[in-house]
Amino acid sequence: MSSKERPTLGGTRIKTRKRNITAPLDPAAFADAVIQIYLDNAGDLELIAKCIESADLNFSRYGDTFFEVVFTGGRTQPGTTKPDEGERHPYSIIDCEPKREVILPSVVYIQKILRRKPFLIKSLENVMQRFLQSLELFEDNERKKLAIFTALAFSQKLSGLPPESVLQPLLKDNLVAKGLVLSFVTDFFKEYLVDNSLDDLISILKRGKMEENLLDIFPSAKRSAESFSEHFTKEGLIPLVEYNEKKIFEVKLKEMRSALTTQIAEEADMSEVIDSVKQHVKDAKLPDVEVVRILWDVLMDAVQWSGKNQQQNANAALRQVKTWATLLNTFCTNAKLELELLYKVQMQCYEDAKLMKLFPEVVRSLYDQDVLAEDTILHWFRKGTNPKGRQTFVKALEPFVNWLEEAEEED
pLDDT value of position 23: 44
The Cα–Cα gap between 232 and 190 comes to: 10
DSSP code string of 318-373: HHHHHHTHHHHHHH--SHHHHHHHHHHHHHHHHH-GGGGGGHHHHHHHHHHTTSS-
Residues in the chain: 411
Cβ count within 10 A of residue 352 = 13
The Cα–Cα gap between 76 and 137 comes to: 12
What are the backbone angles phi and psi of residue 162, rounded to the nearest 5°?
A: -75, 125
Residue type (1 letter), 352: D
The Cα–Cα gap between 38 and 96 comes to: 14
Instruction: Please name every residue paired with 85 in a beta bridge, in sequence order, or none if there are none.
Output: none
Closest CA relative to residue 362, chosen from 388, 380, 342 = 342
Phi-psi region of 89 (alpha: psi -120 to 50; beta: other; left: phi over 0): beta
pLDDT value of position 63: 94
Q: Residues in the chain with pLDDT < 70?
A: 1-25, 78-84, 307-308, 407-411
Q: For the segment 361-400, what is each residue's pLDDT rounded down to a tens digit?
A: 999 999 999 999 999 999 999 988 889 988 999 999 999 9
In three-state form (DSSP H/G/I as H, E/B as E, the rest C), the secondary structure along 179-211 is CHHHHHHHHHHHHHCCCCCHHHHHHHHHHCCCH
pTM equals 0.75
DSSP code string of 271-331: HHHHHHHHHHHHHHT--HHHHHHHHHHHHHHTS---TT-HHHHHHHHHHHHHHTHHHHHHH
Residue type (1 letter), 91: Y
Q: For the segment 69-89, what is each residue's pLDDT rounded down to a tens digit?
A: 999 999 887 666 666 677 889
pLDDT value of position 192: 95
pLDDT value of position 42: 93
The answer to whether 338 and 289 are in contact (CB under 8 A) is: no
Residue type (1 letter), 40: D
pLDDT value of position 259: 94
The Cα–Cα gap between 85 and 76 comes to: 8
Q: Which whole-number Å values give the CA distances from 397 to 80, 385, 394, 401, in the listed order?
A: 76, 16, 5, 6
The answer to whether 356 and 363 are in contact (CB under 8 A) is: no
Closest CA relative to residue 168, chosen from 196, 205, 203, 134 = 205
Element (H, E) at 257: helix 238-265
